[in-house]
Amino acid sequence: MGARPRSINIVAPDVPSATITAEAKHACASLAELRAILDRLPDAREPAVLDLHGHATRGHRYVRFGGDAIDLLDPRVQRFFETLAADGVLARLRITAVRLLGCETAVGPAAQRTLVRLARVLGVPVYGTIKMIGDHHHDARGLRPAFQHLLVEASRFRALGHGAAPAA
């Protein structure tokens, strides 16, 4: 990802994030709160990365905010992100990438499928993690550059067939 981008850090309340400063993070317990946070942010002058920090669900490895898991096979979740994109929220904030920062959010077919679908819906690169991550992987601004190697971009999984729509 090159030079360190400005990060918009959205953090689930059950995720320890003591190293990220209060000014650099926004607590979020649901997708509805995520939308409200993004809507409150001022228009951006410089590009940014949207970092979604949450615990990954067991089994499928979806990042979750409270009871909302980022599972693009869930029509409600897919509609949420389609609306976010259609309303120009990411463009207004100059979001150039989204990173799902939970443990192993790029491990396994379900997680990989969600990364690919989310990238397609949002129109920006989406990254997941290939290892467990914790507070020590972060500094005051978010994910430390030294740990970029833990990220995998969704396009890597398209060749595996994870970008295809499910059969009707």
Per-residue pLDDT tens, the chain, 168 aa: give them: 456 678 898 888 887 765 666 666 888 999 999 999 999 999 999 999 999 988 888 889 899 988 999 999 999 999 999 999 999 999 999 999 999 988 888 898 999 999 999 999 999 999 998 887 766 666 666 776 667 777 788 888 876 555 443 333
Residue 166 within a domain: no
**How much is the CA Rg of the chain, to the nearest whole Å?**
15
- Structural domain containing residue 139: 6-157
pLDDT of 19 reads 61
Residue 77 within a domain: yes
145-152 own/partner pairs: CB under 8 Å, 24+ apart: 145/4, 148/1, 151/1, 151/99, 151/106, 151/127, 152/106, 152/115, 152/127, 152/128
Query: Which token pair is 22?
Result: 């209060």
Residue 41 within a domain: yes
Residue 55 within a domain: yes
Residue 1 within a domain: no
Residue 137 within a domain: yes
Do 101 and 143 touch, CB atoms closer than 8 A? yes
Tally of domains in the chain = 1
Phi, psi of 107 (to 5 degrees): -110, 125
Residue 61 within a domain: yes
pLDDT of 32 reads 96
Q: How far is CA 84 from the centre of its chain?
A: 13
